[in-house]
Amino acid sequence: MKFADREDLLGAAMLGPALAYVILLVGVPFVLAIMLSFSSATAGSLTLTWAGFRNYSTILADPIFLRSLRNTAIVTIGSQVLVIVLATAAAQVFRAAFHGKRAARFVLLLPWAVPVSLAAIAWTWIFDSTFSVINWTLKVTGLLHGWLYWLGEPGLALFAIIIVQAWRIFPFATVIVLAGLSSIPQDVVEASIVDGAGFWRRLFKVELPLLLPVIAVAVLFGVVYTATDLGVVYILTGGGPANTTHVLPTLAFQRGVLGADLGQGAAIAVFLVPFLIVVAVLMLRVARRAEIGAGGGAR
Amino acid sequence: MKRVGLYVAALGFMAFAGFPFYWMFITAFKQNRDLYVGAFDTHHVPWIFNDPPTFEHVRLLFGQTDFLRWVANTLLVIVAVVIITVVLAVPAGYSLARLAGRWGGRLGMGIFFTYLIPPTLLFIPFSRVVALLGLQNSLGALILVYPTITVPFCTWLVMGFVRSVPWDIEEQAMIDGYSRLAVILRIAPRLILPGILTVVVFTFTLVMQEFVYALTFISSVDRMTVSLGVPIALVRGDVYHWGSLMAAALFTSIPLAILYNLFIDRFIQGFTMGAVKG
Amino acid sequence: MGETSPGVEIRQLRKRFTGGDHDAVDGVDLSIREGELLVLLGPSGCGKTTLLRMIAGLEHPSAGEIYIAGRRVDQDVPPRARGIAMVFQSYALYPHRTVSGNIAFPLEAARLPRAIIAEKVRWAAELFGIAGYLDRYPRQLSGGERQRVALCRAVVRDPQVFLLDEPLANLDAKLRNTARDELKRFQRQIKRTTVYVTHDQVEAMGLGDRIAVMDRGKVRQVGTPHEVYEDPVDTFVATFLGQPPMNLVEQPGGGGRTLLGFRPEHLLPSDHFGDREPLHPIPLIVRRVEYLGSDRYVYGTVEFAPEATVIAKLPANIGRAIPEEEGGRLDFAVPERALCYFDAQTGERVRR
């Protein structure tokens, strides 16, 4: 058989370059990152000298690191809980037909479409201590009596970060849930109506269970996007005030890139890995469940 | 009654999602004296134009900053990365869908999962590798590295798309006398054109949005991309010129938002790994 | 107003979908007797499923009235309050629940105590012989098993009316006959009013106590299988029922205003009839003969009406000696009593 008909060779040839690229530029650096975390490499020297667990013990004793670990968890969980609530509610609203739905959807998608850094700088302006339009609105409606130094106080700043993350991710989650809603077989929902289920029973006992794979995917992506995000925190607070709002990515950047201590930077970033593995495993389970088939009609 | 509640809720969500953009818009066109009024002044309403709008911030942005240069840089990177991504991901996706048999699904998933490895982990080794290659502070570094974000997801996208196109036309062509390779080169592209288009658009949006690698590799202002330059370098002597800043943010957001709306269904199919058939 | 009987009563029911240019259901009057199995039969698009869904309450009528067990339901009585149960064509089982969970769902919605639910589920499952599957999921069941689960789920709430939307359509042909038999026996046993939608006229004939033949939103004829088959009111009903369909030819000497109708099984060699009854001769020009085992189909044209193809259905033991070459002329006939006359323009039956 000629080469032009050899499906196996053709397949390999077409897949090869992408595979090679991914292995070389994702796989290798990934391994390199882990290796670096065990070395005392700096940006200046070119050698990888073995340093054992020194980087890890250093950061684990560092209160700033521990705080950044905690912050990453708080921001991720806090924002994603908000995202789930907002997205399921928004999906219920947007599944109905109403005038101007397309325009509404356009606006709804804006937070997700805009580059992270630009959204972050806009929110920095919105949270500005002197000119914050949120403060003005709260004050005018009588809800605020003092003043909110959004990005100047650690607790408030973390809250602001959570808001921004939820804001930029919930459109993505909403759209995914909406797509999931429209893929629920219509006759199953009608059967539940005939069987006597009211709105809430239908929602909790029929629609949400069938939506679970889709919601899971939205949540998992949202979690990854939030936990590994650098832009929002970097631009909003830079990790401050006084290193109180660092998350793992920003701290890794500060120590590893700005501070040129590659070993320590890598060690910090590596703490993201076990958690990413968990996410990947969960996604695999969802994908497998989806393949076996959530549809139960006669076939 | 339920109808009213629906509209109110819809407006609520729209307000939450959209008010920062309205704020961008107002800031971009407000005169400075209308803009820089302390928020504790409850008599001055910041949500409306109290003085007539002005183009001075826009003029400053285009005339006296590197914004246009950043746009040019970004476009250059986009074109290069789109080409690389299409060349790598489209054949790979096709191969996984049609030619790889049992392996195809597993390998495809594997490639997809590399999408989960974040730039905020890889930027540490990359900062070294890029320096070693002499690419520091260059757009070349971005062009080299951005496909690590685009290729995995786009391969998956193409794979899903090709799977959904029925196989019969290609089979028919083979019966009619074309070799497998000829079918791939001449028949397949037309069939999977929408998939290729989705890859182009997705890559475009990904490059426009990317911040971490740009921050890591680029240090001089004239080499920056829009996503990096606007928040970092639109500062004149320690003062943020919010008017121009917001104008830049606004102008960048709108075309991206339009593209997203047009291609949203395709993206969703990719994300949900086929759990949702569009 | 007037008296309403138990069972289902439909008066002047009309349905037009928004954006539609015609009525999906166009003024239907139907009286379904308590305990009978009424089949809504018709081609796709005739409105039978829409009609069924309006009885169920899943669609709102544009005009008209629906009464279930003497009570008017079409205005604002939701499906769950109508005393109905429905089996969908796809069965619509809840994929995330086990078989027992599926059957229990309507009882849970009615907030019955758990012990009673368990009891009823078991009763229904034993009724259909699926008690062994209670812990399985729909995706693990075959088509026939899923159908039985759907029926269980319908029966468990003890409804007054059963609505079935082409429940046998998704089964293999072999399975369909036995399933049909089981369905009929089950319906006789529980004696509940049943409305059954299908496009399969064999199924309709086999199952229905009465058949309502529908076309383009209107009911053409309602009657027992015998009535709609032997005594059709128009050409639509006449040609829809019966396989192969009734032959229709222009009546010679009728000036093109009348059609002659006769069923293939009544078109037989003249000498088969003897002198027992008055016959109408049909000289047949043979085109082709199909041998189908128990029958032979003779395709041909009638000498006096050469534009129409007719089919004669000969049982295997009749007319064994007939010549089968193409172009051959055969002396066939139809008994006068089996002839139907139709108006060529309106299609309506003309009675002599």
Is B11 inside any structural domain?
Answer: no
- According to the model, what pLDDT value does residue B277 have? 46
Per-residue pLDDT band for A296 (boundaries 50, 70, 90) equals very low
**Structure confidence by residue, pLDDT tens digits, A80-116:** 999 999 998 898 888 877 777 778 888 888 898 889 9
Asked if residue A299 has pLDDT above 50, the reply is: no
Sheet hosting strand C63-68, strand order edge to edge: C25-32, C8-15, C63-68, C71-72
> Looking at A230-234, B120-124, B149-153, B172-176, which range is the least confident one?
B172-176
- Measure the CA–CA gap between B171 and B154, rounded to whole angstroms: 25
Distance from C-alpha of B40 to C-alpha of A124, rounded to nearest angstrom = 18
How close does chain C come to A101, measured CA to CA in Å? 19
Strands (E), C140-216: 161-165, 193-198, 210-215
Amino acid letter for position C155: V
CA atoms within a 13 Å half-sphere pointing along the CA-CB vector of B208? 24
* Distance in angstroms between the alpha carbons of the first and the last residue of chain B: 32
Nearest-Cα distance to chain A for C140, in Å, is: 9
With 60 as the cut, is the pLDDT of residue B195 above it?
yes
Would the pLDDT of A195 be above 50? yes
Tokens of C20: 């539609």
pLDDT digits (tens, 9 = 90+) for B143-181: 999 999 999 989 888 888 888 778 888 888 888 888 878
Q: pLDDT grade, residue A47 (50/70/90)?
A: low
Give the whole-angstrom CA distance, residue A109 versus residue B253: 11
Radius of gyration of chain C (CA): 24
User: Which domain, by its residues, includes B138?
Assistant: 56-271
**Chain B nearest C-alpha distance from A194 (Å):** 22
**A20-34, A192-206, A282-296: range with lowest mean pLDDT:** A282-296
Residue A190, judged by CB atoms within 10 A of its CB (0-12, 13-18, 19+), counts as middle
Cis peptide before C244 (omega within 30 of 0): yes
Q: Given this model, what pLDDT does residue B278 score?
A: 37
Domain ranges, ordered by start, for chain C:
8-235, 244-350
Angstrom distance (rounded) from CA C346 to CA C352: 17
Distance from C-alpha of B218 to C-alpha of B236, rounded to nearest angstrom: 19
Q: Does residue A208 surpass a pLDDT of 60?
A: yes
Nearest chain A residue to C91 by CA distance is A297
Inter-chain touch A253–B123, beta carbons under 8 Å = yes
pLDDT band at A6 (very low <50, low <70, confident <90, very high): confident
Chain B residues with beta carbon closer than 8 angstroms to that of A131: 35-39, 46
| Distance separating the N- and C-terminal Cα atoms of chain A | 40
- Asked if B119 has any chain A CB less than 8 Å from its own CB, the reply is yes
Pick from C79, C93, C83, C96: nearest CA to C148: C93
| Cβ(C64)–Cβ(C11) below 8 Å | yes
Tokens at residue C34, please? 């308590």
Collect all residues with Cβ–Cβ distance below 8 Å to A243 and sequence separation of at least 6: A64, A67
Measured between alpha carbons, how far is A134 from B34 in angstroms, rounded to an integer? 17
Count of the separate structural domains present in chain B? 1
Is residue A200 classed exposed, middle or buried when 0-12, 13-18 and 19+ CB atoms within 10 A define those classes?
exposed
- Does a structural domain hold residue B64? yes
For the domain with range C8-235, which CATH number is right: 2.40.50.150, 3.30.559.10, 3.10.20.30, 3.40.50.300?
3.40.50.300
Q: Give the best-scoring range by mean pLDDT among A38-42, A135-139, A277-281.
A: A277-281
Q: Is C60 helix (H, G, I), strand (E, B) or coil?
A: coil
Confirm or reject contact between B78 and chain A (CB < 8 A).
Answer: no
Residue of B nearest to A2 (CA): B179
For residue A128, the chain B residue with the least C-alpha distance is B39
- Sequence-ordered list of residues with C-beta below 8 angstroms from that of C325, at least 6 positions apart, any chain: C286
Considering only CB atoms, A93 lies closest to which of B9, B127, B205, namely B9
Residues of A in contact with B226 (CB under 8 A): 115
Closest of C114, C158, C118, C116 to residue C134, by C-alpha: C118
Gap from A183 CA to chain B (nearest CA, Å): 6
Token reading at A45 = 């020297």
Per-residue tokens: C239: 């040609």
| pLDDT surpassing 80 at residue B24 | yes
Q: Which residues on adjacent β-strands are paired with residue C340?
A: C261
pLDDT higher for C52 or B134? C52
The predicted model scores a pTM of 0.78
Distance from CA of C259 to the nearest CA of A (A): 44
Which DSSP string do the residues of chain A spell out, in sequence order? --GGG-HHHHHHHHHHHHHHHHIIIIIHHHHHHHHHHTB---SS-----B-TTHHHHHHHT-HHHHHHHHHHHHHHHHHHHHHHHHHHHHHHHHHS--TTHHHHHHHHHHHHHS-HHHHHHHHHHHT-TTT-HHHHHHHHTT--SS---TTTSHHHHHHHHHHHHHHHHHHHHHHHHHHHHHTS-HHHHHHHHHTT--HHHIIIIIIHHHHHHHHHHHHHHHHHHHHT--HHHHHHTTT-STTSS--HHHHHIIIIIIS--HHHHHHHHHTTHHHHHHHHHHHHHHHHHHHH-S--S--
Domain C244-350 top-level CATH class: mainly beta
Contact C91 A190 (CB under 8 A): no
All structural domains of chain A: 62-292 (1.10.3720.10)
Choice among A141-155, B73-87, B196-210, C107-121 with the minimum mean pLDDT:
A141-155
**What local confidence, expressed as pLDDT, does residue C5 receive?**
56
Candidates A197, A201, A298; nearest CB to C91: A298
| Token pair in block for residue A293 | 């088939």
3-state secondary structure of C224: coil
Q: Is C91 on the interface with A (CB under 8 A)?
A: yes
Q: What's the gap in Å between the CA of C336 and the closest CA on chain A?
A: 48
For position B274, what pLDDT does the model report?
54
pLDDT category at A293 given cuts 50, 70, 90 is very low
Quote the DSSP letter at residue A26: I
Q: Do A195 and C105 touch (CB under 8 A)?
A: yes
Contact C322, C269 (CB under 8 A): yes
Q: What local confidence, expressed as pLDDT, does residue C321 receive?
A: 67
Which pLDDT value is given to residue C282?
A: 85
pLDDT digit of tens for each residue in chain C (352 aa)? 444 557 898 999 999 988 778 888 888 999 999 889 999 999 988 889 999 999 999 999 999 999 998 888 888 888 888 889 999 988 999 988 899 999 999 999 888 899 999 999 998 888 888 888 889 999 889 888 898 899 999 989 888 899 999 988 888 888 888 888 888 888 888 888 999 999 999 999 999 999 999 999 999 999 999 999 999 999 999 999 988 999 998 888 777 788 889 999 998 888 888 778 888 888 888 888 888 888 889 898 888 877 888 998 988 887 666 767 777 888 888 898 889 999 888 888 888 6
**Pairs of residues, one from chain A and one from chain C, whose beta carbons lie less than 8 Å apart:** 88
Q: How far apart are CA C256 and CA B89, in angstroms?
A: 69
User: Which amino acid makes up residue B184?
Assistant: I
pLDDT at position B1 is: 63
For B31-69, write each residue's pLDDT tens digit.
Answer: 888 788 777 777 777 788 888 888 888 888 888 888 899
Closest residue on chain B to A25 (Cα): B148
CATH number at residue B226: 1.10.3720.10
Q: CA distances (Å), A72 to each of A55, A135, A240, A251, A283, in order? A: 20, 26, 14, 11, 21
Q: Which residues contact B51 (CB under 8 A, 6 or more apart)?
A: B30, B31, B33, B34
ipTM value: 0.86
| Each residue's pLDDT tens digit, B206-218 | 898 899 999 999 9
- CA dist., res. A4 & res. A9, Å (int): 9
Report whether C217 contacts C332 (CB < 8 A): no
| Token pair 């992270």 in the structure block, residue | A116
- Window 155-214 of C, Cβ < 8 Å to A: 157, 170-171
Terminal C-alpha separation, chain C:
36
Mean pLDDT of B214-236: 88
Are C92 and A191 inside 8 Å of each other by CB? yes
pLDDT at residue B129 greater than cutoff 90: no
Q: Does A63 touch chain C (CB under 8 A)?
A: no
Domain-located, residue B39? no
A185 touches chain C (CB under 8 A): yes
